């Protein structure tokens, strides 16, 4: 069941307490595709510039991803982001953002990309996400990411596209900002009323929570002794999450997914993200192998399970 | 197996988005005792002032807690804290702190309090915690809480007392501050090297993680649609955690506790804390009944469990 992702393909210059990298391959669509391609064939959609070379294209093609819709804009420059992480990796400063070829991007999907059963709308301007959604009418599971910027300056359009997806994947503080509800459960419930059947709250180093109309599921981040570069962790999580769901859709759609499939999607997303943050940029996901991911899913099972003991409590 | 707790007994004036309360009963030892008394008999040790009335003493006696060592200081005033919570309940401003009778407190434990097999050293000056530890030589499980203030101004004494306990329960940012290691797992590993066999990282609304030399366990906070007053959540968690352990010590000591007992202690602590934050001050834990706590432990089991699905991954 193929997966289409539309979003940024970028060069990232990153400094963390563990080193620095200049103009390494990054971007939401890139990180998503590297994870999702472990599960199903991925179609990447996004613009790059003249500065985007064969080496980068080759990385995008990892595990058979299709890059026919990676559009090279003649005379343009690839999206660029520069950031600095503090000793506490939860804190980062953005030092530079250059939209470049993204400034005039209008997604045009090939028939193959339009026909994917599964669609991920990575974080771009909500109006563009709507344009893509309209081109993929047959998609049976559509997930969406966004960011605080669009809640600030394009909330109406963002709500419009959220109404037309099955799954919203957002940082938990963005869920609160979007709804004005400081409580995660009530924020998620409000958005479930708009249309999506699944809400995923990304909680950074604390993991993620999943809320549907009749279930709440929570999973910690995979415990690591060293996190080297958190860039792209959320998109890698989304790639593992959506990729796993793509293997399990069967003849149904997003509404028909069982609680255990959704929980497994959380576990595969979490495991994928752990390989991303252990190394810089795309290094971790380029090198990862399936057995290692499955092993970490088993670890996550073990480190969250307990068998309730019954004790006599005094009331 | 009786439990002794030494720590603050206080009046709290609290404003949250859901209301306010003036001079309600609070304090770390109070919140701990209200939770731990569901499991075993609790001996409370701490000073109060002339302003502490029969109604407050009666609440401290909930579920048979022993208050013989609650010392009334003639002419003194009870510890007072005033705080304001923002719409985002994770953010609070301390508006006033009056140590009052705590300024010259020197814990003197009765024989009954000294003889408890289980001891909780709530957050007070580390030198005082050391004095208590020395009076309770026979304790088989000793847990300790502290705060950033003592890491700042009394780190050496704090490390000294940490070396002499079985379990350290601290906010995760305090674990990082204490060790200078920004990564939770490595911070916990360093402290395990000092002596304790169990580290619990409290993570507020995200729940808590437990680290031993051979296990990592993580549990989310109990999902609630409305949190009314987070004051005392950490101490209530500690009360449920330590209380559950007290029921399971058997003939062993802290080192002999199984992984599943520790995980259950996390679940009972988390369930207890959820009843605390649903209402103001001590209201939730005064009213709670054992069946409701056990039900929430079962809920926590359900909302964290999944059965791993095996998928063919492309490497």
Question: Is residue B104 classed exposed, middle or buried when 0-12, 13-18 and 19+ CB atoms within 10 A define those classes?
Answer: exposed
pLDDT given for residue B278 in this prediction: 97
pLDDT tens for each residue of B83-93: 999 988 888 99
Q: Tell me: pLDDT of B284 over 90.
A: yes
Q: Which residue of A has its CA nearest to B307?
A: A260
- pLDDT score at B173: 94
What mean pLDDT comes out for the span B13-18? Answer: 95
For A177, which residue in chain B has the nearest alpha carbon? B88
Give the residue from B309, B310, B312 with the most A CB atoms within 10 Å of its CB, the best one to mutate.
B309
pTM above 0.90, yes or no: yes
B306:A209 CB<8 A: no
Q: Which of A17, A189, A263 sits opposite B306 (nearest CB)?
A: A263
Select from A209, A288, A298 the Cβ nearest to the Cβ of B220.
A209
Question: What pLDDT score was predicted for residue B287?
Answer: 94
Rounded to 10°, the helix A126-135/A155-162 angle is: 30
pLDDT band per the 50, 70, 90 thresholds, residue B31: very high
Interface contact A314-B64, CB threshold 8 A? yes
Q: What is the pLDDT of residue A11?
A: 98
| pLDDT at res. B254 | 75
Identify whether the C-beta of residue B290 lies closer than 8 Å to the C-beta of residue B39.
no
Q: What is the Cα–Cα distance from B129 to B122, expressed in whole angstroms?
A: 8
Q: Residue A65, by phi and psi: left (phi above 0), alpha (psi -120 to 50) or beta?
A: beta
pLDDT at B4 over 80: yes
pLDDT higher than 80, residue A255:
no
What are the φ/ψ torsions at residue B227 (nearest 5 degrees)?
Answer: -105, 125
Mean of per-residue pLDDT scores for chain B = 96
Pairing of the two strands A66-72 and A208-211? unpaired
Task: Name the pLDDT band for A55 (thresholds 50, 70, 90).
Answer: very high
In 10 A of CB A186, how many CB atoms? 15
SS3 B155: helix
DSSP three-state, residue A249: coil
φ, ψ dihedrals at A143, nearest 5°: -115, 155
Flag if A313 and B89 touch (Cβ within 8 Å): no
Report how far apart the first and last C-alpha atoms of chain B are (Å, whole number): 54
What distance in Å separates the CA atoms of residue A171 and residue B195, rounded to the nearest whole number?
37
Q: What is the CB neighbour count within 10 angstroms for residue B45? A: 27
Please give the pLDDT value at position A168.
Answer: 98
* Average pLDDT score over residue span B115-134: 97
From A37, A227, A313, residue closest to B290, measured CB to CB = A313
Residue A175 is encoded by which pair of tokens?
A: 């869920």
* Contact: A39, B313; criterion CB under 8 Å: yes
- What was the pLDDT predicted at B58? 98
Average pLDDT of span A111-129: 97
C-alpha span between A282 and A239 (Å, rounded): 13
* Interface contacts A/B by beta carbons within 8 Å: 166
Q: Which residue of B has its CA nearest to A309?
A: B264
Two tokens, residue A10 = 């970028």
Residue located via tokens 């999907």: A109
pLDDT at B276 over 90: yes
Residue from B272, B308, B310 whose CB has the most chain A CBs within 10 Å, to mutate? B308
- Spatial CB neighbours of B90, under 8 Å, sequence gap ≥ 6: B204, B205
Contact B29, B145 (CB under 8 A): no
Give A245 to chain B, closest Cα distance, Å. 11
* Chain segment B40-93, per-residue pLDDT in tens: 999 999 999 999 999 999 999 999 999 999 999 999 999 999 999 998 888 899
Say which of A290, A297, A298 has its CB closest to residue B314.
A290
B271's tokens: 């369930």
């Amino acid at each position: 069941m193929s997966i289409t992702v539309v979003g940024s393909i970028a060069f990232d210059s990153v400094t963390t307490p563990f080193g620095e990298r200049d103009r390494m391959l990054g971007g939401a669509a890139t990180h998503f595709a590297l994870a999702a391609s472990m599960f199903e064939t991925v179609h990447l959609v996004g613009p790059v510039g003249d500065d985007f070379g064969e080496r980068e294209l080759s990385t995008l093609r990892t595990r058979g991803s299709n890059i026919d819709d990676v559009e090279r804009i003649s005379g343009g420059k690839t999206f660029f982001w520069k950031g600095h992480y503090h000793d506490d990796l939860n804190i980062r400063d953005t030092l530079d953002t250059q939209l470049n070829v993204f400034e005039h991007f209008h997604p045009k999907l090939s028939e193959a990309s339009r026909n994917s059963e599964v669609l991920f709308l990575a974080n771009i301007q909500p109006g563009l996400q709507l344009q893509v959604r309209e081109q993929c009418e047959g998609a049976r599971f559509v997930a969406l990411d966004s960011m605080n910027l669009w809640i600030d300056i394009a909330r109406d359009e963002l709500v419009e596209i959220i109404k037309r997806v099955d799954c919203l994947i957002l940082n938990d503080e963005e869920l609160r900002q979007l709804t004005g509800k400081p409580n995660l459960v009530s924020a998620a419930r409000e958005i479930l009323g708009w249309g999506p059947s699944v809400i995923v709250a990304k909680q950074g180093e604390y993991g993620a929570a999943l809320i549907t109309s009749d279930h709440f599921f929570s999973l910690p981040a995979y415990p690591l002794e060293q996190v080297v570069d958190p860039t792209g962790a959320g998109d890698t999580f989304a790639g593992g999450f959506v990729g796993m769901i793509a293997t399990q859709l069967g003849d149904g759609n997003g509404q028909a997914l069982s609680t255990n499939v959704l929980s497994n999607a959380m576990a595969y997303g979490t495991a994928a993200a752990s390989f991303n943050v252990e190394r810089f940029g795309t290094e971790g996901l380029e090198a990862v192998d399936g057995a290692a991911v499955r092993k970490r899913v088993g670890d996550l099972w073990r480190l969250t399970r307990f068998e309730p003991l019954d004790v006599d409590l005094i009331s």
